[in-house]
Amino acid sequence: MNKRLSVLSNLEEFAFYGFPDFNDEQRSIYFTFEKQEWALISTCPSLHAQVYCALQVGYFKAKNLFFSLPKIPQADIHFILLRYFEGQTLPASAISKYEYYFQRESICLLFGYKLWSHEFMPRLYDRAKHSVQRDISPNFIANELLTFLQDEKIVRPHYSTLQKVISKILTQERRRLKLCLKHHLTEEHRQKLDQLLKNEKTLPALAALKQDAKNFKHSIMKIERQKHATLKPLYAISQEILPFLHISQQNIAHYANLINYYTIYDLDRFDAEQTYLYLLCYVFTRFQKINDNLVEAFTFQVKSLEKEVKDTSTLDDTQTRIEQQIGRLLLLYVDDSLSDILTLRKKAFEILPKEIIRSLGEKMVKKPRRKQNALWQERDKEAKRYKSQLRPLFMEIRFAAQNPDNPLLEAIH
């Protein structure tokens, strides 16, 4: 792997390693010294050493890092001279190496930091080793290492050191995964995974699974069910193998996404285990997504059909209320407490005898159709639609319950 791997963006690299680019306001902040800071500066043996120490203290407060003298802007030097050494001229000579290292150690001691040393390298590798299993991206690992150094108050090493550490840990992780797959993948597993590569149309089709279904129409869901059936046996393999790899969901998603960047020709050129890793992660994530699509489609179809049934049932409820009102009207004809001054009752009795009117009225008022019965009657009418729209989805979805003896689960099976 390239030892000069880019692990930080340009902006991040400048934020962590770039020379402080102070404006006037920032100079006033960082070049204003506390009593202990000025005491350290004052102990330096010469004006040049004192100015240099003042600059390094200010830079360290801003960046927690040390910088070489040739990089220091003249504006910063003039600010220090004008504020603290007015009327004096800075000599052209450089400070000694002894003074340079002495100042670094003194500044670190003042702020409670430790200078970077190779003795910290094992701890840095250990942190990188744990970080890479959470997220394989170099940028994530770099920021984890920088956070570790900040928390431990260790002065950051050169950027190239971070690059080398991350490059080495990524190489080790790749080898670890390769050995795991060699050990746990059986010949049967390999043959089934190889089927994805033998058919030139298979992989592009699987890559398309990344896109969600546009809607829940029967034709769209038929394609989703076909994809689901294709991936199901391979998903079982991924469930069996991936736990042995000890990689995070983030890394699974990362490896899965790489499938979309490579052709079958590219994958054939990789180490077999590398290709299997990408395929296993791809199958694992895509199958779950398609499964979610089927569940959502099933829920959508159920709600749509039930809404239609309830709307129709509401019409039946209206009819029931009308029948109740008719029943009450009929009972008026046989209510002996009412006056018979109208001939209407006599004419009504000529059409239907009094007792029959009474019987019909009582039935219509006292025994209206139950709402649930009406709902089930409407469901029975729509049985074909329920079967055609729900059963294919229902058969692809795996249902489970906390209680294995759940009667609903038994009914599902």
Q: How confident is the model at residue 1 (pLDDT cuts 50, 70, 90)?
A: very low
Most confident of 76-90, 214-228, 256-270: 76-90
Question: What is residue 184's predicted lDDT score, i.e. its pLDDT?
Answer: 96
pLDDT, average across residues 165-174? 95
Query: Quick check: 104 and 44 in contact, CB under 8 A?
Result: no
Ranking 42-51, 191-200, 226-235, 255-264 by mean pLDDT, the lowest is 191-200
pLDDT, average across residues 190-209? 68
Let me know whether 196 and 283 are in one domain: yes
pLDDT, average across residues 132-148? 95
Is residue 136 a part of any domain in this protein? no
Is residue 244 a part of any domain in this protein? yes
For residues 168 and 356, the model is more confident at: 168
Is residue 44 a part of any domain in this protein? yes
Query: Quick check: 141 and 166 in contact, CB under 8 A?
Result: yes
Domain of residue 200, residue span: 187-294
Is residue 101 a part of any domain in this protein? yes
Q: How confident is the model at residue 302 (pLDDT cuts 50, 70, 90)?
A: confident
Q: 233: which residues sit within 8 A by CB, 6+ positions away?
A: 192
Is residue 65 a part of any domain in this protein? yes
pLDDT, average across residues 265-279? 87
Residue % of the chain over a pLDDT of 70: 80
Q: How confident is the model at residue 161 (pLDDT cuts 50, 70, 90)?
A: very high
Ranking 39-53, 147-161, 375-389 by mean pLDDT, the lowest is 375-389
How far is the C-alpha of 37 from the C-alpha of 111, rounded, in Å?
Answer: 9
Q: What residue has token string 């701890």?
A: 123
pLDDT, average across residues 404-408? 85
Most confident of 5-9, 114-118, 260-264, 401-405: 114-118
How far is the C-alpha of 104 from the C-alpha of 56, rounded, in Å?
Answer: 8
Most confident of 158-162, 195-199, 357-361, 398-402: 158-162
pLDDT, average across residues 177-196? 92
For residues 360 and 184, the model is more confident at: 184
Task: Specify the number of domains making up the chain.
Answer: 2
Q: Enumerate the β-bridge partners of residue 154.
A: 114
pLDDT, average across residues 216-238? 84
The answer to whether residue 299 scores a pLDDT higher than 80 is yes
Question: What is residue 326's predicted lDDT score, i.e. its pLDDT?
Answer: 62
Count how many Cα atoms sit within 13 Å of the Cα of residue 349 in the half-sphere of its side chain. 12
Q: How many C-beta neighbours within 10 Å does residue 181 have? A: 22
DSSP state of 209: G
pTM, full prediction: 0.73
Q: Which two tokens stand for residue 284?
A: 């694992």
Q: Which of 88, 113, 138 is the last residue of a domain?
A: 113
The answer to whether residue 372 scores a pLDDT higher than 70 is no
Question: What is residue 183's predicted lDDT score, i.e. its pLDDT?
Answer: 95
Q: How many C-beta neighbours within 10 Å does residue 106 have? A: 17
Question: What is residue 62's predicted lDDT score, i.e. its pLDDT?
Answer: 94
pLDDT, average across residues 51-80? 90
The answer to whether residue 164 scores a pLDDT higher than 60 is yes
Is residue 179 a part of any domain in this protein? no
pLDDT, average across residues 101-120? 95
The answer to whether residue 327 scores a pLDDT higher than 60 is no
The answer to whether residue 291 scores a pLDDT higher than 90 is no
Q: Which of 266, 294, 322 is the last residue of a domain?
A: 294
Is residue 109 a part of any domain in this protein? yes
Question: What is residue 2's predicted lDDT score, i.e. its pLDDT?
Answer: 45
Question: What is residue 341's predicted lDDT score, i.e. its pLDDT?
Answer: 46
Q: Which of 235, 264, 294 is the last residue of a domain?
A: 294
Return the beta strands (E) in 205-345 as ranges.
none
Question: What is residue 373's predicted lDDT score, i.e. its pLDDT?
Answer: 67
The answer to whether residue 3 scores a pLDDT higher than 60 is no
How far is the C-alpha of 102 from the C-alpha of 319, rounded, in Å?
Answer: 98
Is residue 125 a part of any domain in this protein? no
Average pLDDT, rounded, for the chain:
83
Angle between helices 344-351 and 272-333 (to 10 degrees): 120
The answer to whether residue 191 scores a pLDDT higher than 80 is yes
